[in-house]
């Protein structure tokens, strides 16, 4: 698994190990910490193998695959992921996100690994004209280089699987993953200033940030703030277990498939902030600032294909998700 010490990756390692799979993590620790592996071991009782290198290094990636000849499948999480930052640093995003995938696919072919689950994103839909989005909703031009790397990578995987019939690809288009493991041992712990909403909320609640900035209240939504489909990270992690099982058992219906992974429900930024305050009892200072480059107005998923075809469904209530995120933040900061 690439990016296995990151937010979604670490939770997926836990779910895979608890489902009986052996996991090898590859991560360059550019946006995560190595002690996540200790936390995974505490939760599951199993220490995953770990290799520390950058997957955009072609020679190192191929050497890893050839050395680990017993690998049966790859889940590819590793990517730069900040929407706003990608607008100001597009070349870094294209170089890292696209090159790493090319190296992985080439290495899979040369080492005989036949299954890939790709960490995609609802950003591939751009600002859709109709909501909720289904898998047949047309992909519109992405609003950010980050989103465009996901769309480009989906196309690369589709074309590669078409050219290499022995290789199967499955892309999971995540909506907005939030929360933390109920144990409070792993969660979202970005290096530096958070780019995602919930860690900024919890860090503000913990007193690390003076106040939360809400980017724009002049969108065409009921309260003027953007609407997203927020999914619990453990629910999301479980979708990867189902996806891997589908590929390894040969239950996929095409060489390349893709699924929306969300809750099917849209919440505005202000609704999420209010849900956090209500579920935790913590008052949250916030201010409205200008819109952020690359943000879309509103999006949420139709998840019926994933529900029916994968047998997967998001089940964790938003209040529980936000409580887990707060519990994690308090644990990290040693707060009562």
281: exposed, middle or buried (Cβ count in 10 Å: 0-12, 13-18, 19+): exposed
Q: Which residue, among 99, 127, 322, 157, has the nearest Cα to 219 in the 3D structure?
A: 127
pLDDT above 90 as % of the chain:
94
Residues 6+ apart with CB under 8 A from 152: 94, 98
pLDDT at residue 194, as a whole number = 83
Give the pLDDT band (50/70/90) at residue 319: very high
**Do 168 and 116 contact (CB within 8 A), yes or no?**
yes
pLDDT in tens, 189-218: 877 788 889 999 999 999 999 999 999 999
pLDDT at residue 293, as a whole number = 87
Distance (Å, whole) CA 8 – CA 31: 12
Give the pLDDT band (50/70/90) at residue 52: very high
116: exposed, middle or buried (Cβ count in 10 Å: 0-12, 13-18, 19+): buried
Helix (H), strand (E) at residue 76: strand 73-76
The residue-averaged pLDDT of 220-234 equals 98
Distance (Å, whole) CA 269 – CA 178: 13
With the CA atoms of 95, 79, 197 and 298 taken in that order, what torsion angle do they form, in degrees rounded to the nearest 10? Answer: 70
pLDDT at residue 240, as a whole number = 98
Residue whose tokens read 């790493």: 100
The residue-averaged pLDDT of 61-89 equals 95
3-class state of residue 305 by DSSP: helix
CA angle 308, 319, 194 (to 5 degrees): 95
pLDDT at residue 168, as a whole number = 98
Q: Which residues are catalytic?
A: 146
pLDDT at residue 19, as a whole number = 98
The residue-averaged pLDDT of 308-331 equals 98
pLDDT at residue 83, as a whole number = 87
Strands 267-268 and 227-228: antiparallel
pLDDT in tens, 172-191: 999 999 999 999 999 998 77
pLDDT in tens, 297-308: 999 999 999 999
pLDDT at residue 140, as a whole number = 94
- Report the CATH number of the 7-333 domain: 3.40.50.720
Beta bridge partners of 76: 2, 118
The residue-averaged pLDDT of 264-283 equals 98
pLDDT at residue 94, as a whole number = 98
Sequence spans of domains, the chain:
7-333
């Amino acid at each position: 698994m690439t990016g296995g010490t990151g937010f979604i990756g670490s939770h997926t390692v836990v779910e895979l190990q608890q489902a009986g799979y052996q996991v090898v993590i590859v991560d360059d620790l550019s946006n995560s910490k190595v002690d996540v592996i200790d936390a995974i071991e505490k939760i599951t009782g199993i220490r995953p193998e770990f290799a520390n290198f950058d997957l955009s290094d072609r020679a190192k990636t191929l050497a890893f695959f050839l050395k680990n000849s017993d690998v049966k499948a790859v889940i590819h999480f590793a990517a730069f992921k900040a929407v706003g930052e990608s607008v100001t640093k597009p070349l870094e995003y294209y170089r890292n996100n696209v090159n790493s995938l090319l190296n992985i696919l080439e290495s899979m072919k040369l080492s005989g690994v036949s299954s890939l689950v790709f960490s995609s994103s609802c950003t591939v839909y751009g600002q859709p004209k109709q909501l909720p989005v289904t898998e047949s909703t047309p992909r519109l031009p992405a609003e950010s280089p980050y989103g465009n790397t996901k769309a480009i990578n989906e196309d690369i995987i589709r074309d590669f699987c078409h050219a290499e019939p022995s290789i199967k690809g499955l892309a999971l288009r995540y909506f907005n993953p939030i929360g933390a493991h109920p144990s409070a041992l792993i969660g979202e712990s970005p290096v530096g200033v958070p780019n995602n909403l919930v860690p900024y909320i919890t860090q503000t609640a913990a007193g690390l940030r003076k106040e939360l900035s809400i980017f724009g209240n002049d969108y065409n939504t009921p309260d003027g703030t953007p609407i997203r489909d927020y999914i619990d990270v453990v629910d999301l992690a479980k979708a990867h277990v189902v996806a891997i099982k589908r590929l390894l058992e040969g239950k996929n219906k095409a060489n390349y498939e893709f699924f929306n992974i969300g809750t099917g429900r849209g919440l505005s930024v202000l609704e999420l902030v209010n849900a956090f305050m209500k579920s935790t009892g913590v008052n949250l200072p916030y201010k409205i600032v200008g819109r952020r480059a690359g943000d879309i107005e509103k999006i949420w998923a139709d998840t019926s294909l994933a529900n029916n075809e994968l047998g997967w469904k998001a089940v964790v209530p938003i209040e529980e998700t936000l409580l887990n995120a707060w519990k994690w933040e308090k644990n990290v900061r040693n707060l009562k």
